[in-house]
């Protein structure tokens, strides 16, 4: 199925030389040159006067003061905008986040392997699925891996150690849902997030975050992580909605953006705070337009990053 790469953005048209003033003649280059020279002389005289009156000002100090400081990037700014930017990155050093990109692009070539049953505590379930896709053929597995890469970059800028459950075709399929949970457990993650996109009916749109129920069955016991997982999910809901502009689901969660489930192995078998996020509905035209946009996927990663960072800093509070 043909698919147009949504990341290709047409160049912006050039800015008119004199917007709103057609017919105004251009100034001659010579006049502009004289103005520049005069401005430079006035600036040099002002600098000499200031340097003479300030003993701390010298050539080196003037160079530092005159340098243009880079604008603070929202990608590295912590949730809540404390203004510290990159300076705050060290505060999250030592924190570990496991990102679980839902499904795997290779699953479609290994349908027999992913169909085998695994124990998720409450019952047995398929190892994994192929995931959904937009009507135009953009696969959920491609979406989740792309957002995971963007999210990893943002979190690493904050000093976080990030681990992915799979990446760039390794492994070739899966991992199974029980193994995805074990990867987060083995990493002793401070937070784990599984990224997905839904395949509901057209007209159903919006995102929702899935929390683990307090499950105690077989190999599953989420009681120790249920409260912390809710804090993580609540933090993500607020920041994801604010950054992306995506509404909370209109078909699940009663408008809260939060859903609790006990049938997901990736949650049931987790021993660390973990949530799933369905970033939107791939079968809805409006949501699909966002999910297939590279710019919007960057916003999705940013919203996730800010929610996770807020949780890691202990700023989130349960509803």
Q: Please check whether residues 50 and 162 belong to one and the same domain.
A: no
Q: Please check whether residues 56 and 205 belong to one and the same domain.
A: no
- Please tell me the distance from the alpha carbon of residue 187 to that of residue 162, in angstroms, as a whole number: 10
Position with higher pLDDT, 315 vs 180: 180
Residue 45 has pLDDT above 90, yes or no: no
Q: Please check whether residues 239 and 114 belong to one and the same domain.
A: yes
How many domains does one find in the chain? 2
Residue 184 lies in a domain: yes
Report the run of H or E that residue 140 belongs to, with start and end: helix 140-157
Residue 96 lies in a domain: yes
Residue 296 has pLDDT above 70, yes or no: yes
Domain extent, residue 49, equals 29-65
CA atoms within 13 A on the CB side of 255: 0
236 pLDDT tier (thresholds 50, 70, 90): very high
Please write the tens of the pLDDT for every residue from 113-124: 999 999 999 999
With a CB cutoff of 8 Å and minimum separation 6, the contacts of 6 are 138, 292, 293, 294
- In sequence order, the β-bridge partners of residue 261 are 212
Residue 70 lies in a domain: no
Q: Please check whether residues 56 and 97 belong to one and the same domain.
A: no
Q: Residue 315: its pLDDT value, please?
A: 52
Residue 20 lies in a domain: no
Please write the tens of the pLDDT for every residue from 58-98: 333 332 233 333 333 333 343 334 333 433 445 799 999 99
Residue 78 lies in a domain: no
């Amino acid at each position: 199925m043909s698919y147009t790469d949504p990341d290709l953005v047409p160049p912006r048209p050039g800015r008119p030389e004199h917007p709103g003033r057609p017919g105004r003649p251009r100034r001659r280059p010579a006049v502009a040159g004289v103005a520049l020279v005069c401005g430079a002389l006035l600036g040099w005289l002002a600098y000499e006067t200031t340097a003479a009156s300030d003993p701390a000002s010298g050539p080196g100090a003037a160079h530092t003061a005159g340098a243009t400081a880079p604008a603070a990037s929202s990608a590295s700014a912590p949730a809540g905008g404390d203004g510290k930017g990159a300076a705050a990155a060290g505060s999250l050093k030592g924190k570990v986040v496991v990102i679980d990109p839902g499904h795997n692009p290779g699953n479609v070539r290994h349908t027999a392997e992913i169909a085998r049953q695994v124990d998720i505590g409450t019952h047995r379930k398929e190892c994994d699925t192929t995931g959904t896709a937009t009507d135009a053929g953009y696969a959920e597995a491609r979406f989740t891996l792309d957002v995971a890469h963007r999210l990893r970059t943002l979190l690493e800028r904050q000093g976080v150690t990030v681990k992915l459950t799979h990446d760039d075709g390794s492994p070739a399929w899966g991992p199974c849902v029980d193994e995805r949970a074990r990867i987060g457990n083995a990493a002793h993650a401070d937070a784990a997030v599984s990224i997905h996109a839904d395949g509901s009916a057209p007209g159903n749109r919006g995102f929702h975050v899935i929390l683990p129920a307090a499950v105690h069955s077989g190999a599953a016991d989420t009681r120790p992580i249920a409260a912390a997982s809710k804090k993580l999910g609540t933090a993500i809901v607020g920041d994801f909605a604010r950054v992306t502009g995506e509404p909370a689901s209109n078909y699940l969660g009663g408008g809260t953006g939060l859903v609790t489930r006990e049938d997901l192995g990736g949650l049931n078998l987790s021993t660390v705070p973990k949530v799933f996020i369905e970033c939107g509905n791939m079968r809805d035209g409006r949501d699909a337009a966002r999910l297939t946009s590279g710019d919007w996927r960057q916003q999705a990663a940013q919203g996730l990053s800010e929610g996770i960072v807020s949780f890691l800093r202990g700023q989130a509070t349960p509803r």
